[in-house]
């Protein structure tokens, strides 16, 4: 899911602080890119009630979801 996190980094950069249209474009592209990994998925996502979690650690950020 976080394969395209660079789009969010670009949207948050000071280069686009004066252009909200380009910022919205990058955030929208990130949101749409999330559907790339769900086209052939036959199982459901994680179930937090069962204690299933996902954790991703990179040099840039930490991501944890339930």
User: How many angstroms separate the CA atoms of 26 and 50, rounded?
Assistant: 34
Give the β-pairing of 54-57 and 62-65.
antiparallel
Q: Which residues contact 56 (CB under 8 A, 6 or more apart)?
A: 2, 62, 63, 64
The token pair at 7 is 């789009």
What's the confidence (pLDDT) of residue 28? Answer: 92
User: How many angstroms separate the CA atoms of 5 and 11, rounded?
Assistant: 10
Tens of pLDDT, residues 13-60: 888 778 889 999 999 998 888 776 666 666 666 676 787 787 878 787
pTM for this model (two decimals) = 0.60
Q: What is the mean pLDDT of residues 3-12?
A: 84
- Coil/strand/helix, residue 54: strand
- Domain residue spans in the chain? 2-65
């Amino acid at each position: 899911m976080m394969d395209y996190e660079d789009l969010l980094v670009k949207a948050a950069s000071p280069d686009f602080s004066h252009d909200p249209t380009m910022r919205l474009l990058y955030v929208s592209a990130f949101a749409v890119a999330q559907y790339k990994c769900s086209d052939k998925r036959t199982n459901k996502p994680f179930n937090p009630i069962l204690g299933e979690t996902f954790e991703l650690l990179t040099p840039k950020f930490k991501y944890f979801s339930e």
